[in-house]
Structure 1
């Protein structure tokens, strides 16, 4: 049975979804940090850092780096 989606299409959609989730999580992280929970923010940034694709440029990766403030 032929697939409706090719592997590259599926991988591209997964990557797009990952980026959308990262952005949403980062927005929530910024909100939590503004409310004083810096340690929680650092933990989330650490988790996002491990999810960052290898091919992201250094500037993009820095926003997810633990202990970094992206604002």
Structure 2
């Protein structure tokens, strides 16, 4: 397998890790919010919005990269 064939798979795995981290951080934000630090939780959720906003573009780009030529 040429190295160029590995790039889409690598990017897919990195994206999966990113989404897993997003979910874990959201759980922590919810935990912090339940303990009365809603400002901190809101800041964390605001930062996580960037991941959500970029997710569709990343998925579409990965689909193009992984499509057979």
Q: Could you say whether these structures have the same fold, taking a TM-score greater than 0.5 normalized by the shorter chain as the test?
A: yes
Using the size of structure 2 for normalisation, the TM-score is 0.69
Instruction: Specify which structure has the higher proportion of helix.
Output: 2
Distance 1:8 1:48 in 2: 24
Shift of 1:50: 1.4
Stretches (4+) displaced over 3 A: none
Distance 2:55 2:19 in 1: 13
Q: What are structure 2's unaligned runs of at least 5 residues?
A: 58-69
The aligned runs of 1:52-71 (5 Å cut-off) are 52=52, 53-55=54-56
Q: What are structure 1's unaligned runs of at least 5 residues?
A: 57-71
Q: Which has the higher contact order (CA 8 A, sep 6+)?
A: 2
Equivalences, count: 54
